[in-house]
């Protein structure tokens, strides 16, 4: 982020030039089944015209003044922007106001979510923001639905604009959720570290309080197979239960326990307590990791009509990503296993680093949840 | 894939490293196109987010209601907004003016003054055909509306329909001040094969009793005529005189900047345009000057211009298409894209500068065929302009 800091400095040094453009609002809507995620952005100058936020009337709008006007802004947007699915309206709820800088100045950025009565097939948007104050104001819409994006210019006549959102084909849903699963295991570094903690000792045997390299591929292979299978089985169970709304756990709890599970698995490599049946650890904690995966899926939502298929695809994606990691890591650790460095340095110190990282997560997630 | 990564960037932020955050956010930024940065919460309540220009304050509902019922309030306010837009290049003012007129435009019998002012707004938005429609409506109701004839002449001139423009000037002669009629007709003669004579007529035009606007208009015409005749020194003299009289006349300022840039006087261009950075046409000329000087500051300004043109394109408007073509040609060095923009511009307007950009881009893109409409136009109108000659020679 050093580049960003340098840029910000340059802006302070040079007089900021503003390009004059006509008045635009920026509406972003992402469709996920019944759920819409989005944001609406209005120039601070337009917000002033619409609802009047310059409380001390000094001709300048400060962040404090804008923030104080946030409830009225939300009310104004709610009155002038309506979104519906197949004729029935979606309930919009706004999140916290932020500020975004654009070519022609600062914009009030208001994120929202909306819940539609049914899975969206035809989206209607009635955009009347600023229509009586500046008839040339337009809403520039970016609508995304899965991998397809469409743009449109809204406003100017008061009639609702209609958009066809393709009911996701089963194949497309499958691919999308498969990709999401792979992406999540790749980006969900906590799951990878947990798996790695269990895999590091899989190429070793514990004898008389000492680690020894496994003599042949076969036992290492089976040891890994057992661990990975147990982990997969366990998280598949809880992922399915959570995704289908059978069981629900607060994310603060699951996220914290996932962090704790990494610490336990990593410490077990340094101070071995469980050496023979790591598959059981994998299973027990795998149950919790399943809830973690489920929270990602909850954000995406499962498409109507393809719930089970999408769940299966997401799960397969996770397994694919996981398998790729295992296939990459295992030959390396197998090749390194005989050297003293592996047993004395890589495994204990690697595990220590993993445990330390997980400890930071544990503190963060348990004490300072981001919501 | 995008939908997943961009849907909840903030939720996963806490767990992602910076570079990965960038990967997640980048597609979103590209999608929206014109965002500079990512939304954030300002550090302090005292941070100023916007300075409100004149007339951009929230109006209470009762105050707005008054302008709906009383034309003597709505009309001057709308006029004020239009003049602010002219002086600052701020397109939002046109919208405010439109809002003042909107309730009146919806009435069954629209007052001619409202029609004419709305036509002026449409003209500023380069919606020339719609503007002509309103002007004709106004003139049907009030055939002696001098302002309507003058605006009509101006619009037709921009469209290159010189004969019709001349006819409008002639109608003006019956109602308006003789000096306005002289300006109207001589400026057209200067574009249609009588340049030296028209120039001489404007030079010797008596200035006593001339309104400030008319004097500024005369300087602007004289400057452009001198430039088209190849007398850059005289042109600069007229422009500078005119800008002293009317510093807010940004058409004249842009024309003067172009004259300086053509002579590669970049530093003087920057001096001339200092303080006018907020207008897209001015910013373009600043960036061109910065490039001539090898000034690294232009990167941010370039990005800003690109973003502004993108938004305009997305809105389906063509207010600054000529500038966009020039930007693509001179700054971005994309002759093909520049030609496409110049061709689109040519469909909307036909001033000498529009001829120039079409010839230049056609030449740069090695597509002489594309210059044909402009060459034909020059021939038919008998347009004289030394700036066009080198391209004309080569493209033939």
Q: What is the pLDDT of residues A121-139, one digit of tens each?
A: 889 999 999 998 999 999 9
Contact between chains at B42 and A109 (C-beta distance less than 8 A):
no
Q: What is the pLDDT of residue B394?
A: 85
| Contact status of A105 with chain B (Cβ, < 8 Å) | yes
Higher-confidence position of B195 and A213: B195
Q: Return the HEC string of chain B.
A: CHHHHHHCHHHHHHHCCHHHHHHHHHHHHHHHCCECCCCECCCCCCCEEEECCCCCCCCCHHHHHHHHHCHHHHHHHHHHHHHHHHHHCCCHHHHHHHHHHHHHHCCCCCCHHHHHHHHHHHHHCCCHHHHHHHHHHHHHHCCCCHHHHHHHHHHHHHCCCHHHHHHHHHHHHHHCCHHHHHHHHHHHHCCCCCHHHHHHHHHCCCCCCCCHHHHHHHHHHHHHHHHHHCCHHHHHHHHHHHHHHCCCCHHHHHHHHHHHHHCCCHHHHHHHHCCCCCCHHHHHHHHHHHHHHCCCCHHHHHHHHHHHHHHHHHHCCCCCHHHHHHHHHHHCCCHHHHHHHHHHHHHHCCCHHHHHHHHHHHHHCCCHHHHHHHHHHHHHHCCCCCCCHHHHHHHC
Residue of B nearest to A142 (CA): B32
pLDDT tens digits, one per residue of B109-160? 999 999 999 999 999 888 999 999 999 999 999 999 999 999 999 999 999 9
Measure Cα distances from A244 to B55, B58, B137 in Å: 56, 50, 65
Looking at the complex, report in whole angstroms how far the Cα of residue B285 sits from the nearest Cα belonging to chain A. 13
Looking at the complex, report in whole angstroms how far the Cα of residue A335 sits from the nearest Cα belonging to chain B. 30
Looking at the complex, report in whole angstroms how far the Cα of residue A117 sits from the nearest Cα belonging to chain B. 20
Distance CA A219, CA B54 (A): 80
Q: What is the pLDDT of residue A304?
A: 60
Q: State the average pLDDT over residues B287-304.
A: 85
Above pLDDT 90, what percent of chain A?
Answer: 28
Looking at the complex, report in whole angstroms how far the Cα of residue A12 sits from the nearest Cα belonging to chain B. 13
Query: How many other CB atoms are there within 10 angstroms of residue B158's CB atom?
Result: 18
Looking at the complex, report in whole angstroms how far the Cα of residue A346 sits from the nearest Cα belonging to chain B. 24
Assess whether pLDDT exceeds 80 at residue B184. yes
| Contact status of A252 with chain B (Cβ, < 8 Å) | no
Contact between chains at A98 and B41 (C-beta distance less than 8 A):
yes
Contact between chains at B46 and A153 (C-beta distance less than 8 A):
no
Name the CA radius of gyration of chain A, rounded. 26
pLDDT tens digits, one per residue of B364-388? 999 999 999 999 999 999 999 999 9
| Contact status of A173 with chain B (Cβ, < 8 Å) | no
Name the CA radius of gyration of chain B, rounded. 23
Contact between chains at A22 and B317 (C-beta distance less than 8 A):
yes
pLDDT tens digits, one per residue of A147-159? 677 888 898 876 8
- A64 band by pLDDT with thresholds 50, 70 and 90: very high
Q: State the average pLDDT over residues A83-97.
A: 93
Please list the alpha-helical segments (H only) found in A93-204: 170-187, 189-199
Q: State the average pLDDT over residues A291-317.
A: 76
- B28 band by pLDDT with thresholds 50, 70 and 90: very low
Higher-confidence position of A99 and A334: A99
Measure Cα distances from B225 to A76, B9, B191, B212, B369 in Å: 52, 57, 9, 20, 28
Contact between chains at A20 and B91 (C-beta distance less than 8 A):
yes
Higher-confidence position of A172 and A344: A344
Contact between chains at A134 and B16 (C-beta distance less than 8 A):
no
pLDDT tens digits, one per residue of A160-185? 889 988 765 677 778 878 887 887 77
Assess whether pLDDT exceeds 70 at residue A16. no
| Contact status of A56 with chain B (Cβ, < 8 Å) | no
Q: Quick one: residue A208, left, alpha or beta (phi over 0 = left, psi -120 to 50 = alpha)?
A: left
Looking at the complex, report in whole angstroms how far the Cα of residue A325 sits from the nearest Cα belonging to chain B. 18
- Which residues in chain A are contacts of B313 at CB distance < 8 A? none
- B210 band by pLDDT with thresholds 50, 70 and 90: confident
Distance CA A133, CA A155 (A): 13
pTM here is 0.68
When CB atoms are compared, the residue of A24, A52, A100 closest to B35 is A100
| Contact status of B39 with chain A (Cβ, < 8 Å) | yes
Task: Give residues 180 to 199 of B whose Cβ lies within 8 Å of A.
Answer: none
Distance CA A277, CA A273 (A): 10
Q: State the average pLDDT over residues B182-194.
A: 96
H or E element that contains A127? strand A122-127
Q: What is the pLDDT of residue B356?
A: 97
- Which residues in chain A are contacts of B59 at CB distance < 8 A? 49
Q: Which of A252-266, B8-22, B69-83, B318-332 has the lowest mean pLDDT?
A: B8-22
- A289 band by pLDDT with thresholds 50, 70 and 90: confident
Q: What is the pLDDT of residue B26?
A: 36
| Contact status of A22 with chain B (Cβ, < 8 Å) | yes
Picking from B125, B122, B171, the residue whose alpha carbon sits closest to that of residue B147 is: B171
Distance CA A45, CA A132 (A): 15
| Contact status of A209 with chain B (Cβ, < 8 Å) | no
- A297 band by pLDDT with thresholds 50, 70 and 90: confident
Distance CA B202, CA B196 (A): 10
Distance CA B395, CA A268 (A): 81
Higher-confidence position of B78 and A341: B78
Assess whether pLDDT exceeds 90 at residue B230. yes
| Contact status of B391 with chain A (Cβ, < 8 Å) | no
- A20 band by pLDDT with thresholds 50, 70 and 90: low
Distance CA B344, CA B43 (A): 44
Assess whether pLDDT exceeds 90 at residue A104. no
Residue of B nearest to A172 (CA): B1
- A1 band by pLDDT with thresholds 50, 70 and 90: very low
Best B1, B2, B3, B12 residue to mutate vs chain A (most A CBs within 10 Å):
B3
């Amino acid at each position: 982020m050093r580049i960003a800091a340098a840029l910000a400095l340059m802006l302070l040094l040079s007089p900021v030039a503003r390009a004059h453009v006509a008045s635009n609002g920026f509406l972003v809507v992402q469709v996920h089944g019944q759920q819409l995620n989005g944001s609406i952005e209005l120039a601070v100058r337009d917000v002033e015209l619409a609802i009047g936020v310059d409380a001390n009337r000094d001709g300048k709008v400060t962040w404090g003044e804008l923030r104080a006007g946030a409830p009225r802004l939300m009310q104004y947007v709610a009155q002038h922007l309506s979104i519906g699915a197949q004729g029935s309206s979606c309930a919009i709820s706004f999140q916290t106001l932020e500020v975004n800088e654009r070519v022609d100045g600062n914009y009030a950025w208001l994120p929202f979510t909306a819940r539609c009565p049914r899975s969206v097939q035809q989206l209607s948007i009635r955009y009347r923001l600023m229509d009586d104050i500046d008839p040339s104001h337009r809403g520039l819409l970016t609508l995304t639905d899965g991998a397809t994006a469409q743009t449109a210019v809204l406003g100017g006549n008061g009639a609702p604009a209609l958009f066809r959102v393709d009911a996701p084909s089963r194949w497309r849903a499958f691919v999308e959720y498969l990709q999401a699963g792979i992406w999540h295991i790749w980006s969900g570094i906590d799951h990878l570290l947990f798996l790695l903690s269990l895999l590091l000792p899989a190429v070793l045997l514990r004898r008389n309080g000492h680690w020894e390299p496994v003599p042949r591929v076969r036992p290492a292979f089976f040891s890994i197979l057992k661990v990975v299978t147990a982990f997969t089985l366990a998280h598949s169970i809880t992922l399915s239960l959570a995704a289908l709304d059978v069981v629900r756990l607060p994310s603060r709890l699951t996220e914290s326990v996932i962090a704790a599970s990494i610490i336990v698995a990593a410490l077990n490599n340094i101070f071995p307590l469980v050496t023979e049946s790591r598959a059981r650890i994998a299973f027990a904690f795998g149950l919790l990791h399943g809830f973690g995966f489920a929270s990602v899926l909850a954000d995406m939502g499962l498409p109507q009509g393809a719930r089970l298929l999408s769940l299966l695809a997401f799960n397969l994606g996770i397994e694919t990503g996981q398998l790729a990691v295992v296939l990459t890591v295992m030959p390396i650790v197998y090749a390194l296993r005989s050297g003293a460095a592996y047993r004395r340095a890589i495994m204990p110190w690697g595990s220590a680093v993993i445990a330390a990282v997980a400890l930071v997560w544990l503190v963060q997630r348990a004490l300072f949840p981001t919501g | 894939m995008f939908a997943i990564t961009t849907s909840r960037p903030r939720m996963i932020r806490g767990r992602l490293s910076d570079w990965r955050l960038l990967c997640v956010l980048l597609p979103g930024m590209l999608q929206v196109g014109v965002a500079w940065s990512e939304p954030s919460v300002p550090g302090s309540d005292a941070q100023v987010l916007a300075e409100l220009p004149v007339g951009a304050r929230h109006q209470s509902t009762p105050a707005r209601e008054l302008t709906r019922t009383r034309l003597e309030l709505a009309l001057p306010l709308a006029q004020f907004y239009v003049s602010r837009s002219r002086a600052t290049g701020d397109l939002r003012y046109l919208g405010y003016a439109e809002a003042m007129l909107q309730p009146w435009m919806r009435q069954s019998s629209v007052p001619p003054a409202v029609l004419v002012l709305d036509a002026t707004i449409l003209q500023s938005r380069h919606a020339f055909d719609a503007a002509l429609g309103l002007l004709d409506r106004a003139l049907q109701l009030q055939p002696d509306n001098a302002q309507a004839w003058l605006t009509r002449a101006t619009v037709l001139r921009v469209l290159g329909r010189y004969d019709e423009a001349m006819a409008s000037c002639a109608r003006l002669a019956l109602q308006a001040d003789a000096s306005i009629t002289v300006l109207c007709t001589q400026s057209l003669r200067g574009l249609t094969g009588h340049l030296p004579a028209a120039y001489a007529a404007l030079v010797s035009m008596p200035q006593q009793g001339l309104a400030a606007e008319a004097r500024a208009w005369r300087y602007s015409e004289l400057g452009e005529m001198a430039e088209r005749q190849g007398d850059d020194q005289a042109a600069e003299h007229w422009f500078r005189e005119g800008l002293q009289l009317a510093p807010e006349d940004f058409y004249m300022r842009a024309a003067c900047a172009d004259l300086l840039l053509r002579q590669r006087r970049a530093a003087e261009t920057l001096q001339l345009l200092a303080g006018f950075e907020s207008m897209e046409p001015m910013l373009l000329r600043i960036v061109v000057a910065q490039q001539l000087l090898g000034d690294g500051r232009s990167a941010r300004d370039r990005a800003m211009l690109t973003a502004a043109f993108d938004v305009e394109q997305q809105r389906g408007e063509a207010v600054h298409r000529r500038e966009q073509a020039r930007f693509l040609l001179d700054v971005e060095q994309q002759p093909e894209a520049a030609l496409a923009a110049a061709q689109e511009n040519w469909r909307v307007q036909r001033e000498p500068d529009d001829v120039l950009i079409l010839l230049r881009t056609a030449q740069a893109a090695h597509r002489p065929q594309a210059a044909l409409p402009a060459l034909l136009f020059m021939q038919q109108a008998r347009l004289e302009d030394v700036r066009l000659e080198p391209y004309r020679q080569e493209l033939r």
